[in-house]
Amino acid sequence: MTVSLLFGVHAHQPEGNFPAVLDEAHERCYRPFLRTVHGYPEFRFAAHFSGGLLDYLLDNYPADMALLKEMAARGQAEMFGSGDCEPVLAAIPHRDQIGQLEALSAKLERHFGARPQGAWLTERVWFSTAVSALAECGLRYATVDDYHFLCVGKTAAELDSHYTTEDDGRVLDIFPISEQLRYRLPFSPAADAVAYVEELARRGQSAAIYFDDIEKFGIWPETYAWVYEKRWLEQFIEGVLASPLIRTETYRSYHARRPTRGIVYLPSTSYIEMNEWTLPPAAAANYDEMVEREKRAGRYELTKPFIRGGFWKNFLTRYPESNWMHKRMLALSARLAAVPAAQQRPELTRHLYRAQANDAYWHGLFGGLYLPHLRRGVYRNLIALEAALDAAAPRAACARLDLDYDGAQEIFLCNTQLQAVARDDGLGALHEFDGYALAHNFADTLRRSREHYYAKIERGTQPVPGTGGIASAHDRVTFRHQIAAEDIVPDALPRVLFCDRYIAPERKVHAVSGYALDAADVTHPAIVFRAGISGGTVRKVYELAGARLNVTYAFEGFSGGTFATELNVSMPACDGYAGRYILASGDIPCGFGQELTQDALTTITLDDRELGGALVLTASSTVALRAAPHFTVSQSEAGFEKIMQAATVTLSWPLAPGSSVLTLTLELMVAPGA
């Protein structure tokens, strides 16, 4: 008896990723993979390329894409569909699920001659609510982890073919991806991997089901040399084709000739690692301890279906920054859906779909939310969409609502050039500050939070790879940067704009966290906060005037001391060479990645050539300035790394006894670098 090897690879690069990264990924992975498999016409496989990556490769590497087209035409390669911009389907409205799925299916039909029947689910996140959209779009089957099936009582022996599920009467078949194959390919020696597939044939299994990231074949650490220079992929393919126990087959062919194993209903879940990543640190530690205890007791294979962990939407509760982006996206999706059909334009839908790309909304082994350029990709599209919608149907200049469902209202202040969003949470700070001409959110940063994997940093341990193969990125503990203990201390407050503190004459520091919303006058739009502190009161007013944000502080009843406000400013250049501070004299003391101290100034410019603009900060009276880069620590497949999130600029000024007024003006300038 033979076993059908259903071999699939998923290729994706995040929205907002740098072209140089895409080029390197192609050189080290996509090109050598396609050229290798092209040389073995009898080796059948499935491939999913996310829409944005596919567009890039078609435009920039047409010769390599011609190989993929040829393989598809001769029946060697089956193209899988999905949401065009790689959204987690469960995180977007049904109307957008349909739109995203149709967009990629149409693209595949246009370039490869056929609409897909199979669907790749982003991060293999399963929510039954996606079944209807998949079925409506003509997709007949999808792949998820075998773990999903184990959670409902299926045994490993039963997971060698597809099952059928339904939602609201709409039907979809689902294939269980083998965890054992995911961990063997390509990390174990090729001969061992082939022998494992042959053993499945001897057990009488119908299919060996594999579908995983193609980036494991060349981009993950050590894999380029292992897969191509040491010929792992060629050896594996040749071993498979030479085996009398293995036949290669596309999912489409297998699905057409094999009946379903029956009905199944799966829980909302993803792959095992993702379920741990979604948990808060304390819960993740408990989860990890339970898993290790079960492994030591030899029970893990029996109990792992019942040690569930969290699920993908937990990321929206773990990270307020992610939840805010997500709710901004949902609100703009609703606004776009309300536009009459005659006024709909393709570019507006493209902005929305790109803002739904999954990568910037979550974090696990990979950077995701921690990578500023990925969040910037989301905001760039949200802001561009919002500007276009406002041009067609202007909003009120000031509005209040609880957009992110956290129990605190947000106040939106906008004009045609800027938008400022404050939250009525006691801080009196700005949580979003958008420049429409630049399509940039200057408050897009990330606070330091405790992560479960920080325990590995504190231990500094390095597992030893198993003999004969290479270590998976899931098993590596490496350090790209030197990390100190203070680098992983969580922030007490969010990283926002205009977060205030008062230093009393005796040097006691008071965080100003008692701001109450005073007024929001729609006839003269402004956001007004008032707080009492240390016997005095401070009134804080935000107003927009063209391309300027005016922030006015008025103080009464203070007996001296110093007032300070902190701005965590997101600048695209981060600590790169393209971002620098410019003094009123024209001098450039340093870049955003260095510390800067100025005892007295009234104007400073944050110039960013990558952004193509500048943020000019002007004070109505002399202030002291201290600026320093804000870093967070995260893990990636390459190791633990420090990532600059913002330039933290702290302004301070003395308070004379009695009362004083200080006005700060932020001016946006779309101007070339000096």
User: Domain for residue 315, yes or no?
Assistant: no
- Residue in 55, 70, 136, 213 annotated catalytic: 213
CA-wise closest residue to 6 among 141, 159, 188, 175: 175
Please report which helix (H) or strand (E) contains residue 164, including its range. Answer: strand 163-167
Q: Quick check: 327 and 403 in contact, CB under 8 A?
A: yes
Q: Where are the alpha helices (DSSP H) in 435-482?
A: 454-459
Mean pLDDT of all residues in 620-648:
91
Mean pLDDT of all residues in 202-217:
96
- Tell whether pTM > 0.95: no
Cα torsion 583, 588, 591, 596 to 10°: value is: -50
User: Domain for residue 368, yes or no?
Assistant: no
- Tell me what pLDDT residue 464 has: 41
% helix, strand, coil for the chain, step of 5: 35, 30, 35
User: Domain for residue 527, yes or no?
Assistant: yes
Tell me whether residue 213 is one of the annotated catalytic residues: yes
Q: How confident is the model at residue 567 (pLDDT cuts 50, 70, 90)?
A: very high
Single-letter residue type at 455: A
Single-letter residue type at 32: P
Cα 144 to Cα 175: distance, rounded to the nearest angstrom: 6
Cα torsion 151, 156, 157, 161 to 10°: value is: 70
Which single residue is written with the structure tokens 């980036």?
A: 215
- Tell me what pLDDT residue 478 has: 52
Of the chain, the percentage scoring pLDDT greater than 70 comes to 94
Here the tokens at position 574 are 């981060």
For residue 343, with 0-12 CB atoms within 10 Å meaning exposed, 13-18 middle and 19 or more buried, which class applies? exposed
Structure-model confidence comparison of residues 456 and 260, the more confident one: 260
Structure-model confidence comparison of residues 34 and 462, the more confident one: 34
Q: How confident is the model at residue 640 (pLDDT cuts 50, 70, 90)?
A: confident
- pLDDT value at 674 more than 80: no
Q: Quick check: 326 and 91 in contact, CB under 8 A?
A: yes
- Tell me what pLDDT residue 8 has: 98
Q: How confident is the model at residue 481 (pLDDT cuts 50, 70, 90)?
A: low
Structure-model confidence comparison of residues 484 and 668, the more confident one: 484
Q: What is the CATH number of the domain that holds 242?
A: 3.20.110.20
Cα 621 to Cα 506: distance, rounded to the nearest angstrom: 24
CA-wise closest residue to 543 among 561, 519, 565: 519
Mean pLDDT of all residues in 92-104:
98
Which single residue is written with the structure tokens 């024209």?
A: 586
Cα 165 to Cα 265: distance, rounded to the nearest angstrom: 6
User: Domain for residue 429, yes or no?
Assistant: no
Tell me whether residue 123 is one of the annotated catalytic residues: yes
Q: For the packed helices 372-392 and 320-337, what is the interaxial angle rounded to 10 degrees?
A: 30
CA atoms within 13 A on the CB side of 660: 16
- pLDDT value at 468 more than 80: no
Cα 336 to Cα 438: distance, rounded to the nearest angstrom: 21
Cα 26 to Cα 14: distance, rounded to the nearest angstrom: 14
Cα 4 to Cα 634: distance, rounded to the nearest angstrom: 40
Cα 139 to Cα 292: distance, rounded to the nearest angstrom: 39
Mean pLDDT of all residues in 31-57:
98
Q: What is the CATH number of the domain that holds 466?
A: 2.70.98.10
Here the tokens at position 660 are 């004083």
Cα 402 to Cα 455: distance, rounded to the nearest angstrom: 36
Say if strands 141-145 and 118-120 run parallel, antiparallel, or are unpaired. Answer: parallel
Mean pLDDT of all residues in 634-646:
85
User: Domain for residue 85, yes or no?
Assistant: yes
DSSP character for 469? S
- Tell me what pLDDT residue 298 has: 92
Which single residue is written with the structure tokens 């894999």?
A: 223
Say if strands 3-11 and 45-49 run parallel, antiparallel, or are unpaired. Answer: parallel
| Strands (DSSP E) found in 345-406 | 398-401
- Residue in 64, 78, 96, 123 annotated catalytic: 123
CA-wise closest residue to 664 among 652, 646, 656: 652
Here the tokens at position 345 are 């334009």
For residue 281, with 0-12 CB atoms within 10 Å meaning exposed, 13-18 middle and 19 or more buried, which class applies? middle
* Minimum mean pLDDT range among 168-177, 178-187, 362-371, 413-422: 362-371
Distances (CA, A) of 157 to 149, 154, 204, 214, 260: 11, 8, 9, 27, 15
User: Domain for residue 367, yes or no?
Assistant: no
- For residue range 586-618, what is the model confidence (pLDDT) as tens digits? 999 999 999 999 999 999 999 999 999 999 999
Mean pLDDT of all residues in 383-410:
96
Mean pLDDT of all residues in 630-646:
87
- For residue range 269-310, what is the model confidence (pLDDT) as tens digits? 888 888 889 999 999 999 989 999 999 999 988 898 888 888
User: Domain for residue 212, yes or no?
Assistant: yes
Q: How confident is the model at residue 367 (pLDDT cuts 50, 70, 90)?
A: low
Residues 6+ apart with CB under 8 A from 391: 416
Mean pLDDT of all residues in 638-655:
92
Cα 45 to Cα 436: distance, rounded to the nearest angstrom: 45
Q: Which of 256, 275, 294 is the last residue of a domain?
A: 275
DSSP-derived 3-state class of residue 641: strand
Which single residue is written with the structure tokens 């307020």?
A: 320
Segments forming the whole domain that contains residue 221: 3-275
Q: Which of 275, 308, 340 is the last residue of a domain?
A: 275
Q: Quick check: 579 and 608 in contact, CB under 8 A?
A: yes
DSSP character for 479? B
Distances (CA, A) of 347 to 57, 257, 384: 21, 41, 10
Cα 170 to Cα 94: distance, rounded to the nearest angstrom: 14
Cα 515 to Cα 661: distance, rounded to the nearest angstrom: 18
- Tell me what pLDDT residue 245 has: 98
Cα 413 to Cα 659: distance, rounded to the nearest angstrom: 28
Q: Quick check: 378 and 16 in contact, CB under 8 A?
A: yes
- Tell me what pLDDT residue 342 has: 85
Q: Which of 227, 260, 275 is the last residue of a domain?
A: 275
CA-wise closest residue to 217 among 53, 28, 366: 28
- Tell me what pLDDT residue 658 has: 73
Dihedral pair phi/psi, residue 225, rounded to 5°: -65, -40
Single-letter residue type at 630: H
CA-wise closest residue to 620 among 555, 664, 565, 564: 664
Residues 6+ apart with CB under 8 A from 24: none
- pLDDT value at 477 more than 60: no
CA-wise closest residue to 143 among 55, 41, 255: 255
Q: How confident is the model at residue 470 (pLDDT cuts 50, 70, 90)?
A: very low
Total count of domains within the chain:
2
- For residue range 119-141, what is the model confidence (pLDDT) as tens digits? 999 999 999 999 999 999 999 99
Instruction: State CA 226 to chain mean position distance.
Output: 29
Q: How confident is the model at residue 463 (pLDDT cuts 50, 70, 90)?
A: very low
User: Domain for residue 317, yes or no?
Assistant: no
